[in-house]
Structure 1
Amino acid sequence: MEMLYNSDNYAVVEFRVPASEDENPALVRGGYEIVDKFNRKEIYLEGALAESFKQGVEALIEQSPTVEDIDEYIERFSSLMQQPVVLH
Structure 2
Amino acid sequence: MQMVYNSDNYVVVQFDLPEGEAQHGGEPLSRGGFEIVDKFARKEIFIEGAMAEAFKDEVTALIETSPSEEEMDDYIERYTSLMQHPVILH
Percent of pairs with identical residues? 62
- Aligned partners of 2:84, 2:54: CA distance in 1, in Å? 19
- Aligned partners of 2:28, 2:64: CA distance in 1, in Å? 27
1:27 deviation in Å? 2.8
- Measured on the aligned residues, the alpha-carbon RMSD in Å equals 1.2
Structure 2-normalised TM-score?
0.91
Residue of 57, 70, 73 corresponding to 2:72: 70
Residue equivalent to 1:35: 37
1:18 deviation in Å? 1.0
- Aligned partners of 1:83, 1:68: CA distance in 2, in Å? 24
- Aligned partners of 1:55, 1:27: CA distance in 2, in Å? 20
Residue of 49, 52, 57 corresponding to 2:51: 49
Which amino acid is 2:82 matched to? L
Report how many residues are paired: 87
Stretches of structure 2 that go unaligned for 5 or more consecutive residues are none
Which amino acid is 2:18 matched to? P
Q: Does 2:4 correspond to 1:4?
A: yes
Stretches of 4+ moved more than 3 A in 1? 23-26
